[in-house]
Amino acid sequence: MKTKQTIRIAWVIMLVCAAALAAQNAGQAPGGQQAQQSQQQPQPEFIRQGRELLREGKLDEALAVYRQELQKTPDSVVANNAAGVVLDLMGQYAEARKYFAKAIEAAATPQAKAAAQRAMAMSYAFEGDCKKTVEWEQQVFNYYVSVNDFFQQGEMANEAARVCIEAGELDTAYKWYETGHERGLREPNIKPDRVDLWEFRWAHAQARIAARRGNAAEAQKHVAAAKAALDKGTNPTQAVFFPYLVGYVAFYRGDTKTALEELQKANQNDPFIQCLIAQTYEKMGDKEKALEFYRKAASTTAHNPPAAYARPFAKKKLP
């Protein structure tokens, strides 16, 4: 029987593997927070080796390390998740899901099972499959309902919405962003800064959806609301998400000059921003700069909504 401490350590290691594996490319939009990870937590040697190989772009070798571990411990949740993530990065999505399914089956706790289900959701996100992503995110959402964690309910709803908006499923995205906003605000004894955060996220989401629908006036109204929430100064770490928003809206309005100027102020390590900058350069007719940023986006080894959109999209643009 595993002790609670052993399970807790295994859970943290699994999150590190499934959500990051390599250098984290932040970019949950906006202000999304992946489950907390500590780089100081002890890691199995095979995870350390695999992460190093991923940093070097050696996906085949990283996968071989994980598969070697699975020959010894086929029920290892950590190794199954790790192998699944690498296969997603390689574009072998159906194969990846076999490993995520095994991780879900072998998970020792509801929390660990939810983390593996979340990885499965991201696998479908890499294919731009809004419906299947939502199906799996719903299960993660349900876990957080069972433990009355309203903040994480909002996080998971927003994560599903983020995938759907870039898949062009705008009505579904709106529904889940709305759910995220509503659930997040249910947090007991919620503090003013947390309220402002959810208001900023909701305005941010509505602006992007309006921009995608071609409603410039509606988009600008929500951009103003997002700025008002940010200007309260209660969430300074969210400031980087505002130029991303302005650039996104400008891009879909056809204003490439403003889009580029604003996107260059956003997080330059976010593969989604890199991909959007590349698209902007492409529309401006600068093929060389577009390819430069597509290469950056295509190199991400993260396993989250920004990477799930950017890596496959960018790889298709490369010669």
What pLDDT does residue 29 have? 52
Query: Computed from CA positions of residues 108, 112, 113, 117, in that sequence, does the dihedral angle turn out positive or negative?
Result: negative
Write out the DSSP string of 21-74: SSS----PTTT--PSP--TTS---HHHHHHHHHHHTT-HHHHHHHHHHHHHH-T
Considering only CA atoms, which of 240, 260, 246 is closest in space to residue 216? 246
Q: From its phi and psi, is residue 21 left (phi > 0), alpha (psi between -120 and 50) or beta? A: left
Query: Computed from CA positions of residues 78, 80, 83, 87, in that sequence, does the dihedral angle turn out positive or negative?
Result: negative
What are the Cα distances from residue 226, in Å, to 155, 205, 217, 221, 222? 18, 9, 14, 9, 6
Q: What is the pLDDT of residues 217-253, one digit of tens each?
A: 999 999 999 999 999 999 999 999 999 999 999 999 9
Distance CA 242, CA 200 (A): 9
What pLDDT does residue 254 have? 97
The H helix count followed by the E strand count for the chain is 16, 0
Distance CA 79, CA 101 (A): 12
For residue 84, give both structure tokens: 């699944």
Q: What is the pLDDT of residues 135-190, one digit of tens each?
A: 999 999 999 999 999 999 999 999 999 999 999 999 999 999 999 999 999 999 99
Distance CA 31, CA 226 (A): 12
What pLDDT does residue 30 have? 66
| Cβ neighbours of 231 (radius 10 Å) | 12
* Helix/strand/coil for 273: helix
* Helix/strand/coil for 153: helix
Domain boundaries, the chain: 128-190
Which residues of the chain fall below pLDDT 50? 1-28, 33-40
DSSP state of 186: T
| Global confidence as pTM | 0.88
What are the Cα distances from residue 110, in Å, to 19, 101, 115, 141? 17, 14, 9, 12
What are the Cα distances from residue 178, in Å, to 181, 208, 252? 5, 13, 22
Considering only CA atoms, which of 179, 153, 166 is closest in space to residue 122? 166
Distance CA 88, CA 283 (A): 29
